[in-house]
């Protein structure tokens, strides 16, 4: 999983040092954190890695399915197993896990399975379900028809779809805003098309809302004020669901960044670092 350790020098948290695991989301790689990881590594031990679906993971051309297997890896629960295996291999315990987008819910699932590995969860732009649910009024941000159309576009021509998606989800940024879009577009474009479709289908059709009530680890939800992928209503829903969860678990705080888009680590890196430092130094 191309794990790299930045800063620090001690163990996985047992010696009093804070270890921060940064987990990227769909279309990204460990390099999605390049604008923020060095600053965090000045104070904390930082671990970055690539999920099996990342374009930075080298696989044989004829072995695409090995990187993202349909029955195991290509589900949030399968990715949670990946995460736990990596943390065990690196002997990490009691970490602060920062999960961006889909990685946020993967971290929640892993924390339920192996609570001793997680001291605190930071969920950045996370969502347990992306499709609106008319039955209970849940607002996820997408209608089912929009999801079907997106999946069809990926299947038809991933190379043409990827830069358009990058521009739509990264959102505007202070000059040079185009750089943030280009950085994500480059990483997204490196994904294997079959993996890109399979993982996106798993993400957009997921419904892991039931997991929220089982999360016992302390949690902070970080969300952009204007996020086209996961609207702010999702963050408020997660806060309410987790507040009614495990007995004794404190209700998670919601930190709203005054920025647009789904990638604050790209579009507002200095603000993102300040937010992370405030959370980390408080926990």
Which entry of 24, 31, 100, 262 is annotated as an active-site residue? 262
**Contact call for residues 266 and 227 (beta carbons, < 8 A):** no
Measured distance CA(248)–CA(116) in Å, rounded: 17
Which of 101, 111, 259, 260 is catalytic? The answer is 101
Characterize the bridge pairing of strands 253-260 and 95-100: unpaired
* 214 annotated active-site: no
Give the number of residues written for the chain.
Answer: 283
Q: Which of 73, 75, 227, 260 is catalytic?
A: 227
Distance CA 121, CA 31 (A): 21
Of 252, 253, 254, 258, the closest CA to residue 224 belongs to: 258
**Known catalytic residue at 227:** yes
Sign of the alpha-carbon torsion through 235, 19, 81, 23: positive
Order the strands of the 219-226 sheet from edge to edge: 4-6, 45-48, 19-23, 95-100, 118-124, 219-226, 253-260
Distance CA 123, CA 105 (A): 8
CA-based nearest residue to 221, from 51, 117, 212, 244: 212
Report the distance separating Cα 232 and Cα 248, nearest Å.
26
Annotated active-site positions, please?
Answer: 101, 227, 262
């Amino acid at each position: 999983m191309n794990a790299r350790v930045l800063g620090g020098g001690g163990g996985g948290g047992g010696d009093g040092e804070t270890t921060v695991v940064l987990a990227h989301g769909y279309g990204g790689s460990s390099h999605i954190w390049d604008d923020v990881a060095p600053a965090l590594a000045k104070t904390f031990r930082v671990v970055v890695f690539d999920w099996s679906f990342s374009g930075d993971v080298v696989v044989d051309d004829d072995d695409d399915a090995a990187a993202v297997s349909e029955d195991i890896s290509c589900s949030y629960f399968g990715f949670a197993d990946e995460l736990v295996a990596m943390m065990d291999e690196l002997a990490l315990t009691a970490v602060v896990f920062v999960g961006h987008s889909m990685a946020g819910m993967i971290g929640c699932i892993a924390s339920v399975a192996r609570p001793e590995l997680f001291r605190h969860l930071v969920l950045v732009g996370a969502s347990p379900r992306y499709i609106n649910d008319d039955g209970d009024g849940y607002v996820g941000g997408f209608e089912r028809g929009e999801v079907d159309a997106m999946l069809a576009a990926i299947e038809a021509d991933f190379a043409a779809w990827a830069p358009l998606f990058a521009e739509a989800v990264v959102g505007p940024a202070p000059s040079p805003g185009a750089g943030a879009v280009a950085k994500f577009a480059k990483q997204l474009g490196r994904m294997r098309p079959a993996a890109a479709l399979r993982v996106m289908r798993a993400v957009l059709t997921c419904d892991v809302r039931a997991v929220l009530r089982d999360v016992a680890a302390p949690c902070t939800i970080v969300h952009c004020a204007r996020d086209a992928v996961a609207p702010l209503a999702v963050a408020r829903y997660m806060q309410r669901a987790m507040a009614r969860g495990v007995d004794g678990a404190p209700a998670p705080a919601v930190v709203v960044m005054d920025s647009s888009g789904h990638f604050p680590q790209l579009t507002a890196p200095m603000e993102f670092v300040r937010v992370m430092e405030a959370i980390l130094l408080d926990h």
